[in-house]
Amino acid sequence: CPQRPLSAQSAEYGTCSLRKMSAMEALELLDQLVDESDPDVDFPNSYHAYQTAEGIRRAHPDKDWFHLVGLLHDLGKVLALFGEPQ
């Protein structure tokens, strides 16, 4: 199988060298974003992440990995603050 060239995004973001931040820093940055899928929501995007994680924790108290996934599920949206489309 011939190797395919890296996409522009893979080349740009794949090395993780443009900016380093913790998950909590990225979560806080999300609060600066107006999400195109929910433009009329009045609460910060991080609140949605906490709500999701808490809902999963209540429904699945024994699956701590799932609680974390709920918290982190929208972190990729932070790329919109750096010029990527939503």
State residue 22's pLDDT score. 92
Q: Is 48 annotated as belonging to a binding site?
A: yes
Phi and psi torsions of 82, nearest 5°: -115, 25
User: Which residues lie closer than 8 Å to 28 by C-beta, 6 or more apart?
Assistant: 46
Give the per-residue pLDDT at 2. Answer: 43
CA distance between the termini of the chain: 33
Q: What is the pLDDT along the chain (86 residues), one digit of tens a residue?
A: 444 456 877 887 777 777 888 999 999 999 998 878 776 778 888 998 999 999 999 999 999 999 999 999 988 888 888 888 88
Domain ranges of the chain: 21-82
Query: Within a 10 A sphere around the Cβ of 78, how many other Cβ atoms?
Result: 20
pLDDT of residue 3: 45
73 is annotated as contributing to ligand binding: yes
pLDDT on residue 72? 92
Residue pair 31/44 in contact (Cβ under 8 Å)? The answer is: yes
* Residue 58 · residue 79 · CB < 8 Å: no
